[in-house]
Structure 1
Amino acid sequence: MKAAPEAQKRLLDLAELDSVIDRLAHRRRTLPELAEIDELAKSLARLATQVIEAETEAGDLAREQNKAENDVDAVRTRADRDQKRLDSGAVTSPRDLASLQSEIVSLQKRQGDLEEVVLEIMERREAADTKVTDLVARRDEAAAARAAAEDRRDAAFKEIDKEAGEVRGRRAAVAGEIPADLLKLYEKLKEQYVVGAAMLHGGRCQGCKVALSIA
């Protein structure tokens, strides 16, 4: 296909602008912030699950501790009641006195055992609460990091899109100076070979593999 020297020059200008647009699009697709945001999103999802699990464990332990403390209170109340009966002198039968004293001793032992259970639960609950605090802090830190990465991504997008818009404007102006049939051929070649025009060597387009004769 015949192409005037000036038209060939404008084609090369157009190809250069398209190359810039392609590079900007590639840069937009491969911003490091995109991979960072993706990894942080995965980390946040894991941490959110871990926080829920830790909070559930802490809640279960809180209820377990409350029940154990109620058991201690119930045994203590019963032991205090029996002790008052013993101290009041109302029980005079040796057999009943022995039985009451034995029950008090048994209740006191039971109370001690339950108090040990409460202490053990309290230790586990403290560890669970610490775990929740740590996970929440890590989750919040990851959320802040993701927000910062998103801000950087958005700023980069804005800069790239602005530059791409300016280049497209220049491209439209250059395309308007190229004959319609030649521009159509260029677009077809670009679609097929990515490059629609390239420098000529010996009358041959080095990028598009098409021979052009200078008018």
Structure 2
Amino acid sequence: MGPAHPRVPHGHRPLDGARAVRNLPDYPWSPQLNAEPADQIRLLDVQALDVRLSQLAHKRTSLPEHAEVDSLTKDLSQQRDLLVAAQTQASDAAREQAKAEQDVDQVRQRAARDQQRLDSGAGMSPRDLANLQSEVVSLAKRQADLEDVVLEVMERLEAAQERVGELTERVSALEAKLADATSRRDAATGELDAETARITKERELVAASLPADLVALYEKIRAKQGGVGAARLYQRRCEGCRLELDMAEVNEIKAAAANRVVRHDNCGRILVRTADSGI
């Protein structure tokens, strides 16, 4: 690798076919690189593998199963919350019913005792008997009122229990759907991860066989140019930015040695020359 060239003054082209990247402040002047034509062509293999890895990463994040799992998880969470609320209502109603029935039983027992005393009338004055009879009547009304409360609570408990049953079925159905969607998602991501690992290994092997400075330049450009650091020059057109080279650029590349690493003035990508470059 030769020494770094000074920055070329505005309006002048670099000498010896070196490719300056004009009007792109993100690309500082870089030293000229030389690499065997075969290595430059193999750099396109690295680029193709990187494109495939990007495609796999996008496909992995875009799997429809992800959205399905997220939607089902949200629905399941909502239904579980509703189920807990319904179970709480049912539990509260059950306790309320037990308390109301206990109150009815206490009133019933007291009314039964008073009725026995009233029926015997032993040792009681007429006034006491009248008071006791009034209490028996009052207790009968109280018992009837409490029994109405018990019926009302029983109706609420039955409705709450039905709601619990419905929500339990919904939750069970959603859990089954979520388990299925999760299994399908995991299977799909597993296949993509396996292919990604295989291609990553292949990419590492190919990149390791190339000159380190060539790979370093490629990586730098790729990071700034949307994942594409090297492109084939096909019929005088850069396959990276899809623009056709002007004649001045074509003549520069023609004049450059076969092992010179050239870059497109427009996008800054490494241009790889092949038999189909049209120059």
TM bucket by the smaller chain? 0.7 to 0.9
Residue equivalent to 2:277: none
1:200 aligns with 2:239: no
1:146 aligns with 2:178: yes
Please say which of residues 109-118 and 33-42 is displaced more in the overlay.
33-42
Please say which of residues 197-206 and 128-137 is displaced more in the overlay.
197-206
Residue equivalent to 2:15: none
| TM-score, L = length of structure 1 | 0.87
Task: For 2:142, give the aligned amino acid.
Answer: R
1:162 aligns with 2:223: no
- In 1, distance between residues paired with 2:132 and 2:151? 28
Which of 94, 106, 127 matches 2:159? 127
- Is the CA contact 2:231–2:272 (under 8 Å) kept in the aligned structure 1? no
Name structure 2 gaps, 5 residues minimum. 1-32, 242-266, 275-279
Please say which of residues 145-154 and 75-84 is displaced more in the overlay.
145-154
- Is the CA contact 2:232–2:240 (under 8 Å) kept in the aligned structure 1? yes
Secondary structure of the structure 2 residue equivalent to 1:198: strand
- In 2, distance between residues paired with 1:184 and 1:140? 55
- Is the CA contact 2:111–2:139 (under 8 Å) kept in the aligned structure 1? yes
Task: Give the direction of change, closer, same or farther, for the CA distance of 1:5–1:58 in structure 2 (3 Å limit).
Answer: same
Which of 205, 226, 231 matches 1:173? 205
- In 2, distance between residues paired with 1:169 and 1:96? 103
Which of 33, 39, 42 matches 2:74? 42
1:76 shift after superposition: 0.5
- In 2, distance between residues paired with 1:169 and 1:46? 44
1:190 aligns with 2:222: yes
Name structure 1 gaps, 5 residues minimum. none
Task: For 1:181, give the aligned amino acid.
Answer: D
Residue equivalent to 2:65: 33
Query: 1:56-80 deviations in whole A, cap 9, x for unaligned?
Result: 2222211211111111011111111
- Name the Cα RMSD after superposition: 2.4
Secondary structure of the structure 2 residue equivalent to 1:139: helix
Q: Looking at both structures, which has the greater relative contact order when contacts are Cα pairs under 8 Å and sequence separation is at least 6?
A: 1
| TM-score, L = length of structure 2 | 0.69
1:116 shift after superposition: 0.7
Task: Give the direction of change, closer, same or farther, for the CA distance of 1:150–1:45 in structure 2 (3 Å limit).
Answer: same
- Is the CA contact 1:197–1:205 (under 8 Å) kept in the aligned structure 2? no
1:211 shift after superposition: 6.3
1:16 aligns with 2:52: no
Larger radius of gyration: 2
How many residues are treated as equivalent by the alignment? 215
